[in-house]
Amino acid sequence: MKKLKLPAWIFIGMILGILAGLALMGKGDITTAYIKPFGDIYINLLKFLVVPVVLTSIVSGVVSLGDIKRVGSIGWKTIVYYLGTTAIAIVIGLVFANVANAMGLFPVLETADVTYEANSSNVMDVIKGIFPSNMWQSFSDANMLQVIVVALFLGAGILVAGDAGKKFSEVMESAYAVVMKIMGFIIKLTPIGVFCLMTDVVAVNGPKIVGSLMIVIGVAYVAYIVHFVVCYGVSAAALSKVGFVKFVKGIWPAMVVAFTTTSSAATLPVTIDCSNQMGSDPEVSSFVLPLGATINMDGTAIYMGVTSIFIATCYGINLTLSQMAMIVLTATLASIGTAGVSGAGMIMLAMVLESVGLPVAGIGLIAGVDKLFDMGRTTLNIVGDSTCALYMSRLDSKRAARLAAKK
């Protein structure tokens, strides 16, 4: 047993959690009160690391690139890649949801008594919210978009400052090394955290998932799988030259952690480790992956597409092509502003619903099983981050080879 590696222990923890949850089915109050808190402690420890990991890794990543032009080259390509895959994801979600709706799988429900309050935001609020007015407030609020902006400015400032920025660079490098060591300690607790979280999820949700909710969850997961195989499979094999089977094996530990914690930000340390072991350049992954944990939300985009069609059908509303196009645009932008923490996608869904005139109260139809959507969409999110890191590493190595050839 001592020879088993961490991924094996994580998988064992997940299986034991499922079995324990089945044994305690119907006793969710017990698991929530006495087992889930240990899983929450594990998540808290991961979240505790998120801001330090993102800040120090991006600053270190920018500085390690050594050239402000290299930062710009990788940065814009990364953003284009993330936006492109997100747009593809939302289209896939809408296609599968409309097919299911045409087959009569989504019912028209009596929803007069359904109530749900959610705060919504417009596109300009998302854009304005990217830029911080107080750096320390960004850290204390764990506003990851703002933390990324701060890290990019600090990294760029160090590069431009030249010799004057070396001491600050050394401080950030040292901080990054310390944070990575702490990360190693916490990752070793993953099997225990996975066991506790899975036990509670199965015990609480198992008997309640029936009927139409099971169908819409199934549609979402079919779309998740199709996007995983088609979009990410092609990206890994054709763009990064990493075989699909090898890629799945390499990213599997991060997928398990994402599936159980439902937080792409909390999974970030494991995603970085898996990507580097598959051949991603650590200098590139330390820049690309924290960025992806905040702005790359393909799973969330699919979730928004599927649930928008489901809610519209439940209210007896038929969406037009122009409204679906608006869903594609709004969901892509909303996914950028979605925090990489558990449950954030449901709040951002309100923005999408309002953009096409659907009642925000419809979120109440799926709120009870949002956790199950969240497990799949978070897993897809981190897989997309990894494919980007691999592809950007390959592009950067090609760029370095071209520059070396010119000398």
Stretch (H or E) spanning 399: helix 370-406
- The pLDDT score that the predictor gives to residue 249 is 93
Residue 355: name the closest of 323, 380, 379, 385 by CA. Answer: 323
Highest mean predicted confidence (pLDDT) among 64-68, 172-176, 329-333, 336-340: 172-176
Angstrom distance (rounded) from CA 71 to CA 76: 9
Mean pLDDT, all residues of the chain:
80
Please tell me the predicted confidence (pLDDT) of residue 193: 85
pLDDT class for 280, splitting at 50, 70, 90? very high
The whole-number average pLDDT for the span 61-90 is: 79
Give the residue-averaged pLDDT of 89-108.
Answer: 88
Q: Among 314, 359, 300, which Cα is nearest to 101's?
A: 314
Q: Around 141, how many Cα atoms within 13 Å sit in the side-chain half-sphere?
A: 14
Of 15, 11, 45, 17, give the one whose Cα is nearest residue 31: 17
C-alpha closest to that of 286 among 1, 78, 48: 78
Burial of 391 (0-12, 13-18, 19+ CB in 10 A): buried
Asked if pLDDT for residue 118 goes beyond 50, the answer is no
Q: What percent of the chain has pLDDT over 70?
A: 82
Superfamily assignment of 6-406 in CATH?
A: Sodium:dicarboxylate symporter (1.10.3860.10)
Question: What is the spatial distance between Cα 360 and Cα 347, in angstroms, rounded to a whole number?
Answer: 10
Query: Residue range 171-197: average pLDDT?
Result: 85
Q: Which residue blocks in 66-165 are alpha helix, DSSP H?
A: 68-102, 123-128, 135-140, 144-161
Burial 332-359, CB ≥16 within 10 A → b, else e: bbbbbbbbbbbebbbbbbbbbbbbbebb
Q: Give the per-residue pLDDT at 238.
A: 92
The answer to whether the CB of 58 falls within 8 A of the CB of 267 is no
Q: 201 pLDDT exceeds 50?
A: yes
Q: What is the mean pLDDT of residues 181-209?
A: 77
How many helices and strands in the chain, by DSSP H and E?
18, 0
Residue 227 has pLDDT above 90, yes or no: yes
DSSP secondary structure code for residue 362 in this structure: G
pLDDT at 255 over 90: yes
8-52 pLDDT tens trace: 787 788 789 888 888 888 787 888 899 989 988 887 887 787 788
Q: In this predicted model, which residue has the larger pLDDT, 127 or 111?
A: 127
The reported pLDDT for the residue numbered 146 is 81
Q: How far is CA 334 from CA 127, 130, 267, in A?
A: 10, 12, 21
pLDDT tens-digit profile of 302-357?
A: 988 898 898 888 878 888 877 787 777 766 665 554 544 454 555 567 667 766 77
pLDDT at 343: 47
Band (pLDDT 50/70/90 cuts) for residue 120 is: very low
